[in-house]
Amino acid sequence: MGGMASTCCRREFLGYGCLGASALALTACGGEEEPSGWTDLIRLDEVPSGSAVKVSAGDRELLVHRSAEDEVQVLSAVCPHQGCAVEVDSQRYVCPCHDSQFELDGELIAGPAQQGLETVTSRVEGGMVRAEL
Ligand code: FES
């Protein structure tokens, strides 16, 4: 008897989840690298032990702190508050803009800056203080 109309309603669900797993190929920049951008700043004997001197290197202003006889530390002179250049004021750095103060090793003494001065990689070579800029 009567034909069965078998209507087949097929709905196809294409259930492909879209996995946005894009593999980022990260290239590791490790390993032994030749130091690049080493710049001479000042002769070590021009910085009395226990004091700091402000120097310019290109368009950067830096602070060379001779923390011990043969130990130096180079800091950025850029105040972390709003970017003025701090000045050496005997045993501390003082920012002329809003009076933030820092120890010679860059530690914050008083704000409005919220953090200390940035350290720059440095070394002494052949009596010359050099920084990696
Ligand atoms: S920029 Fe140095 S205290 Fe404001």
In angstroms, rounded to a whole number, what is the distance separating the alpha carbons of residues 51 and 23? 51
Tell me whether residue 30 is in a domain: no
In ligand 1, the atom with minimum distance to the C-alpha of 96 is 2
Nearest CA to ligand 1 atom 3: 98
In angstroms, rounded to a whole number, what is the distance separating the alpha carbons of residues 12 and 73? 69
The vertex-71 CA angle with 67 and 76, nearest 5°, equals 65
The vertex-64 CA angle with 61 and 66, nearest 5°, equals 170
pLDDT at 42: 96
Tell me whether residue 41 is in a domain: no
Q: What does pTM read for this prediction? A: 0.72
- Residue 52 near residue 105, CB atoms below 8 Å: no
Question: Residue 106 belongs to a domain with what CATH number?
Answer: 2.102.10.10
pLDDT at 73: 96
Domain of 70, in residue numbers = 52-132
pLDDT at 116: 98
Nearest CA to ligand 1 atom 1: 82
In ligand 1, the atom with minimum distance to the C-alpha of 79 is 2
Tell me whether residue 64 is in a domain: yes
| Kind of pairing between the strands at 101-102 and 108-110 | antiparallel
- Per the structure, the count of domains in the chain is 1
Residues at CB less than 6 angstroms from ligand 1? 79, 81-84, 95, 97-98, 100, 112-113
Alpha carbon of residue 110 to chain centroid: 21
Tell me whether residue 9 is in a domain: no
Tell me whether residue 89 is in a domain: yes
Tell me whether residue 63 is in a domain: yes
Tell me whether residue 12 is in a domain: no
- What is the Å distance from ligand 1's center to 69 Cα? 31
pLDDT at 90: 84
pLDDT at 1: 47
- What is the Å distance from ligand 1's center to 81 Cα? 5
Q: How does pLDDT run along the chain (133 residues), one tens digit per residue?
A: 444 444 444 444 444 443 444 444 344 444 444 446 899 999 999 999 999 999 999 889 999 999 998 899 999 999 999 999 999 998 999 999 999 999 999 999 998 999 999 999 999 999 999 999 8
Tell me whether residue 85 is in a domain: yes
Distance in angstroms between the alpha carbons of the first and the last residue of the chain = 93
- Residue 130 near residue 124, CB atoms below 8 Å: yes
pLDDT at 36: 64
Find residue 110's DSSP bridge partners.
Answer: 101
- What is the Å distance from ligand 1's center to 114 Cα? 10
